[in-house]
Amino acid sequence: VNRLDADVLAYEYPGYSIADGAPSEKGLYAAALAAYQWAVRPAADGGGGAAPDQIVPFGRSLGSVPACYMCSVAPEPLGGLLLQSPLLTGASAMLGKGVATVGSCIDVFKNSNYILKARCRVAIAHGTADEVVGFSNGKALHRRCADAHEPLWCPGRGHNNMDEKAVLRYFHGVLDYVEANQT
């Protein structure tokens, strides 16, 4: 069995899967912030008891948005950020363009802005044949990272057929790198 040797905190977004409420961008951010706040709350107070540098959000596709947001609003740097098939912005994902629409009031899910505020190592895995969230999104987001890990570009792979073992090995290597380089 492949494992990352990590504790996992999973959370739902309002209106998605089994969670109550209506889906919204605001709901994604509220859920990410609540998860972060629970994770850093001391265990004696009913929280997860984690230090910020022990938190490494993972986001895939739309899930990249709350993960990037969490890194951008955390008061202290997080341990890292792992993204699989991330979108640059909502418009970039829908239109298939790798061009940030920064400043556009009609665009949503602006990872292009959040990634600029990430004060941690960022690792991105993306398939080069992704027809759901175009590969150009991952490449453009990677270029915007201040502390980018060497990306994992998966030739000929799409949104839902990435080599899971290769992605798991890649993220495991990133976590090993982050752990070895923490101060």
Q: Which residues are catalytic?
A: 61, 130, 159
Extract the tokens encoding 23: 């889906």
Cβ(175)–Cβ(125) below 8 Å: no
Q: Which alpha helices (H) appear in 41-163, and where do they start and end? A: 64-73, 90-95, 111-114, 135-143
For 54, residues 6+ apart whose C-beta sits below 8 A from its C-beta are 79
DSSP string, 25-61: HHHHHHHHHHHHHHHHS-GGGTS----GGG---EEEG
